Chain A
């Protein structure tokens, strides 16, 4: 009994005085689902974070790193994965929350589950959020295709992005990246690579466009 007691006291002290790394400093993804989507999306999100941990220096707070959010976005990390399915309810309050989120430094990745209704919801959402701004489709050699992996154009050209003062605030895709991660073969691998590139782009910004990198990559291309 005393041994057990001392053990629990020790655990309590460790937990209260010098707790291990926590929480908002480590990498997390906020996941907001609008409408009805398959539960496999969540599993794919966890898979991506595990791959991120395995392949890169990013330190996701596994298993808490894939954080399900409600539409208040309260406590959301600065990267929000917005999954839109059929029957999504997009109201004005959510619009305002998303706008404030992006203005404060957050990045939103919005994807539709592939159904025509979800794609239509996504278009409407984008139009309401950025009515006057032009969203550009990713071109060959754009930063998202070379943040960590060099991703072929066939994968990257389904993405559109919006930058605000040089900072990436919005990425969207008609084709679900999470569905791709849940698949198999090269499609899965390229989806993971694209996912890792997106995460690293949100964390490092236009870093790969710095001269130090460009010079080296040009040299390598020539060789």
Chain B
């Protein structure tokens, strides 16, 4: 119930009570009193509702109005068109006109809108409210393509104003396909398949055709589908299933195949970012021989709650004689097929510890190739040396191994730990403790370093811990089976050093976000053809370039030395880009978003315009003369004068007199009764 209705109801009840109160008095007094009470009640209306005197604005007076220009990506209203429009109102009569531009929201009152995004009329009108209250315009003129199909109502402040709508053309150069509305869980679990939904739309119907749609995760194609449009179809839903193998931010991209997206390229890709968390790290470990090295690693892994360890030890080799029947043995066959074919993709990490697969005829070469494929696709592999006669200088692991060594080539080396390579894997504490440890003899499996091996920790010039990136995956190698001494014989000072090293290696192998290089940060979402701020922790010491790379196409932003904050232009094609400084090997994956849902079908634009007309907008031809500036015609515009009715002494005296008379009549009646 509105306040006005409530007030009228109260007034009527009050009047009726007054009438009852004077029961028994003469009819004249009752009528006079009723009229006084009525006037008194009515007299409070202007005070409560702040009625103001209206004044007529002559044609020669300054018109107050707001012009709102749609600068979203879908319009073809250029900067020149806007300048021409402004020139039309460049006269004295138009001095009271305020110019606003909008897209994702209201832009600055003057100047060009820098970011071209969506058409958001509802949000813009909400943001415009303070300006409307301040300026008190007589009219608002909206120039838009009608790209906002979501608008349902406008705030009440706009109800008394004259609203005009002029339709400006939207981008429409021919048949075009686009991607819209990606939906999936905002949080994924690592290695868990999750559904991704999206809409593929086109702007014109009437033909039957089909296009190929790709689903990419972190820039890698995981699936493709063909979408068939019937002659009347404008939109088709699509569903993919994806999974992420690493933690942190994952970028999901739905893209129309190259060359099939129609006239506009900007809406052919749509990105969505979600966070990937894990339940547990799934580790498969194969141990060729139970040793102290394998025991201490298991003890370390098994006590961690975030590790799901599938462990397999060879307890008996082909040459061992167990002197017992199978019934008396608790041994099981090595489930190679189950581990290395059926379920290999379910693991985050494989630990290959002192295992010589060549000794076992049942261990087919196919399993080694599967491990290689597993690493190529982003898995982690930890090679841990031991005394069995394995050989990484030949065979399928030759490419994978950071150090090409053999189980048979082992040296008892005297020396100390040294750390040359500053790498994020090693924390400062780890580096200091390794250097300070008193260990001066170690069994090292020595070999030739592969080209891209990073030697993290050396022991007397031999690589003790080497790491290497292999396509999308990572490999680490530990070339001693005596590291467990760091745990077992450690002084109190170095307790936990072994566990700390293992933990850091596991984090690195699973590409944990905690170990990502942070050389610079990009502030805010990145959209095509716009600008974005990037920040460095300190000022740059030399001129360099920020390089964006996607599918072999490179885009560069020059950065001048001496500054730590830059505003840079973004690429013109959406997608997941690798961004890095020209001189650095660390890169950052950045999603460059399109503004895809803005490119609608013709029918959708018409529907958006129709919704605005239903909200009391009057259609106005853009090229014709506007109603408020039509000279020679009679036009009356009323505006609040700024003076409320009750704001003068005469009103106050009348109301006071009426109240006194009312009081006298009522009190007199009461006295007579008593």
List the B residue with the shortest CB-CB distance to A20: B410
State whether A217 touches B330 (Cβ < 8 A).
yes
Residues of B281-303 whose CB lies within 8 A of A: 288-296, 298-299, 302-303
State whether A150 touches B321 (Cβ < 8 A).
no
State whether B487 touches A207 (Cβ < 8 A).
no
B335 within 8 A of A: yes
Shortest CB distance B286–A (Å): 12
List the B residue with the shortest CB-CB distance to A106: B488
Shortest CB distance A204–B (Å): 5
B324 within 8 A of A: yes
Shortest CB distance A209–B (Å): 10
B500 within 8 A of A: no
A104 CA to B321 CA, complexed, in Å = 34
Please tell me which one of the listed residues A148, A202, A212, A216 contacts residue B295 in the complex, with CB atoms under 8 A apart: A202
A184-223 CB contact bits vs B (8 Å, 1 = yes)? 0000010001000000101111111011110011000000
State whether B299 touches A205 (Cβ < 8 A).
yes
A3 CA to B488 CA, complexed, in Å = 45
Please tell me which one of the listed residues A22, A149, A212 contacts residue B329 in the complex, with CB atoms under 8 A apart: A149
List the A residue with the shortest CB-CB distance to B318: A57
> B332: which A residues are within 8 A, CB to CB?
212-213, 216-217
State whether B490 touches A104 (Cβ < 8 A).
yes
State whether A58 touches B289 (Cβ < 8 A).
yes
Shortest CB distance B412–A (Å): 5
State whether A203 touches B290 (Cβ < 8 A).
yes
List the A residue with the shortest CB-CB distance to B339: A212
> A39: which B residues are within 8 A, CB to CB?
none
Count of chain B residues near A, Cβ 8 A: 50
A193-B324, A217-B332 known; A205-B295 Cβ under 8 A: yes
State whether B314 touches A57 (Cβ < 8 A).
yes
B327 within 8 A of A: yes
Please tell me which one of the listed residues A55, A189, A207 contacts residue B313 in the complex, with CB atoms under 8 A apart: A207
A21-B387, A104-B487 known; A205-B329 Cβ under 8 A: no
State whether A54 touches B313 (Cβ < 8 A).
no
State whether A105 touches B315 (Cβ < 8 A).
no
State whether A200 touches B310 (Cβ < 8 A).
no
Please tell me which one of the listed residues A18, A27, A165 contacts residue B303 in the complex, with CB atoms under 8 A apart: A165
State whether B290 touches A57 (Cβ < 8 A).
yes
B320 within 8 A of A: yes
State whether B330 touches A77 (Cβ < 8 A).
no
Total A-B Cβ pairs within 8 A: 134
List the B residue with the shortest CB-CB distance to A51: B323
> B489: which A residues are within 8 A, CB to CB?
104
B316-355 CB contact bits vs A (8 Å, 1 = yes)? 1100111110011111110100000000000000000000
B486-497 CB contact bits vs A (8 Å, 1 = yes)? 011110000000
> B322: which A residues are within 8 A, CB to CB?
55-56, 149
A78 within 8 A of B: yes
> B303: which A residues are within 8 A, CB to CB?
165-167
Residues of A76-95 whose CB lies within 8 A of B: 77-78
Residues of B405-428 whose CB lies within 8 A of A: 409-412
Please tell me which one of the listed residues A18, A57, A150 contacts residue B316 in the complex, with CB atoms under 8 A apart: A57
A16-28 CB contact bits vs B (8 Å, 1 = yes)? 0111111011110
State whether A212 touches B290 (Cβ < 8 A).
no
B628 within 8 A of A: no
List the A residue with the shortest CB-CB distance to B338: A212
State whether B412 touches A22 (Cβ < 8 A).
yes
A24-B485, A212-B312 known; A17-B291 Cβ under 8 A: no
State whether A150 touches B328 (Cβ < 8 A).
yes
State whether B299 touches A105 (Cβ < 8 A).
yes
A57 CA to B332 CA, complexed, in Å = 14
A146 CA to B332 CA, complexed, in Å = 11
State whether B290 touches A58 (Cβ < 8 A).
yes
State whether A78 touches B488 (Cβ < 8 A).
yes
A51 CA to B458 CA, complexed, in Å = 38
List the B residue with the shortest CB-CB distance to A53: B320
A148-B315, A200-B315, A212-B335 known; A57-B289 Cβ under 8 A: yes
State whether B291 touches A18 (Cβ < 8 A).
no
A147 within 8 A of B: yes
A23 CA to B507 CA, complexed, in Å = 31
B115 within 8 A of A: no
B482 within 8 A of A: yes
What 8 A-B pairs are tightest by C-beta distance, nearest first?
A203-B290, A146-B330, A216-B332, A25-B481, A19-B412, A203-B295, A57-B317, A57-B289
Other A-B contacts than A150-B329, A208-B330, A212-B310, 9 sampled, CB-CB below 8 A, are A56-B316, A57-B313, A59-B289, A148-B329, A166-B302, A167-B303, A204-B295, A211-B310, A216-B335
Residues of chain A having any CB pair with chain B under 8 Å: 17-22, 24-27, 54-59, 77-78, 104-106, 146-150, 165-167, 189, 193, 200, 202-208, 210-213, 216-217
10 A-B pairs in the complex with CB atoms less than 8 angstroms apart: A21-B410, A24-B443, A57-B316, A58-B290, A77-B292, A105-B299, A106-B488, A149-B329, A204-B298, A205-B298
